[in-house]
Amino acid sequence: MSRLGTLGARLYRGEVGYDFIGKRKIWYGISILITITAIVGLAVSGLNMGIEFKGGAVFTTPKTSVTVAEAEDLATEASGHQAIVQKLGNGGLRIQITEVDTAKSDEIKNKLSKDLDVPAEKIAADLVGPSWGEQIANKAWTGLGVFMVLVVIYLAIAFEWRMAIAALVALIHDITITVGIYALVGFEVTPGTVIGLLTILGYSLYDTVVVFDSLRESTQDITKQTRWTYSEIANRSINGTLVRSINTTVVALLPVAGLLFIGGGVLGAGMLNDISLSLFVGLAAGAYSSIFIATPLVADLKERDPQMKALKKRVLAKRAAAAAKGESAEDDPSDDGFPQDAAPAAAVVGQRQQPPRGHGRTPGKRR
């Protein structure tokens, strides 16, 4: 087995761990930097809105020998506006021109018929009004707002308000990065993009809720022990679900990567780019935020609670006293009632501490 496979197996069995919570300031800094870059790209470049949002005409031609580059020049000259041309599977062309009305559409159609040497009656022309795209955008924003509100309410009831806030921040983080990438790359924003954007929110929440559920179970009766702080147990929860998060994310990314890089890039099916890019970036950002943003943020908020502050003081005091005696505070059997899976991961990759078992019984004897 490779070293990577061995590490993955040890992670899955809980034999090694990584201090995600302890290095949270690094993750926060990386996320802030990426988010600022996305916002700057959005402010400078803006989004390349599709015809569905700006209005215009779409011309579909039968099979022709004219190349995409030549068709773009001809369509731009005929309309006076920048044209977007895509090659179709049957050898025809899809020519998209914004800000075109009905009268102008007929004129452009006749001009394209002569330039492309295609009969005018075989060129299909579809007009799209900007009001239709505006309705789509408004409904998308409404759906996004309702989704956010329901998520916050559900998580606040099922878990607690701190987790609801952390999940909301992670969702906003994912949306901002995805939209910023679209602005930087210049891909066209279509209704498919909106669908992909709304879809990734569910994937983002999935990994976050899995970690939150593990954290909730591990922190039951946390104040009744003095071994671990809340942050340390949160770190254990991340490590315990890390392999599952990686597996689900990779499995989801593979087919999306096929659509984006093979379908849109190699095969030239540009219409796949609008939805596949949002899915690809959103899935990756969602997996990142659930591990490096949501749970560390919950730990930060929770550590401000007076009970958690008092617990942290007791834990540190006990460790200091044990260190002075040359003992390990983690070997104290007085806290054996605390759940075994609440033990935190090691600060760095290495062997995790396992509490002693048996509660003082002599092996082989019964009472």
Instruction: State the greatest distance between any 2 C-alpha atoms of the chain, in Å, as a whole number.
Output: 100
Q: What is the predicted pLDDT for the residue at 360?
A: 42
Cβ 229 vs Cβ 309: under 8 Å: no
Q: How far is 198 from 192, CA to CA, in rounded Å?
A: 10
Identify which has the larger pLDDT, 305 or 137. 305
Mean pLDDT of the chain: 78
pLDDT at residue 13 is higher than 80: no
**pLDDT at position 346, please?**
42
pLDDT interval class at 356 (50, 70, 90): very low
Tens-digit pLDDT profile for residues 166-197:
999 999 999 899 888 888 888 778 777 888 88
Residue 226 has pLDDT above 90, yes or no: no
CA distances to 31, 116, 219, 319, 357 from 330, rounded to whole Å, are 34, 79, 17, 8, 13
Are the C-beta atoms of 190 and 136 separated by less than 8 Å? Answer: no
pLDDT at site 354: 41
pLDDT value at residue 347: 40
pLDDT at 30: 93
Could you tell me the two tokens for 90? 């049957």
Cα 61 to chain centroid, rounded: 38
How are beta strands 124-128 and 56-60 bridged, if at all? antiparallel
Q: Which domains does the chain have, with CATH numbers?
A: 3-49+132-306 (1.20.1640.10), 56-128 (3.30.70.3400)
Q: How confident is the model at residue 292 (pLDDT cuts 50, 70, 90)?
A: very high
pLDDT band at 294 (very low <50, low <70, confident <90, very high): very high
Examine the pLDDT at 362 and tell me if it is beyond 70.
no
The whole model's pTM is what? 0.74
Angle, nearest 10°, between helix axes 130-158 and 191-218? 0
Which pLDDT band, with edges at 50, 70 and 90, does 80 fall under? confident
pLDDT in tens, 134-173: 777 788 788 888 888 888 898 899 898 999 999 999 999 9
- 111-114 CB contacts, 8 Å cutoff, 24+ apart: 111/78, 112/59, 112/61, 112/74, 112/75, 112/78
| Contact (CB, 8 A) for 174 and 281 | no
Give me the helix-helix angle, 273-289 and 161-185, nearest 10°: 140
Cα–Cα distances (Å) from 206 to 24, 84, 128, 228, 295, in that order, read 21, 37, 37, 27, 13
Query: pLDDT at position 14, please?
Result: 56
Integer angstrom CA distances of residue 165 from 174, 207, 260:
14, 16, 32
Q: Are 157 and 20 in contact (CB under 8 A)?
A: no
Q: Which residues contact 77 (CB under 8 A, 6 or more apart)?
A: none
At residue 206, φ and ψ (nearest 5 deg) are: -55, -55
What CA–CA distance (Å, rounded) separates 39 from 46? 10
Residue 5 is which amino acid? G
For 121-135, 181-195, 331-345, which range has the lowest pLDDT when averaged over its residues? 331-345
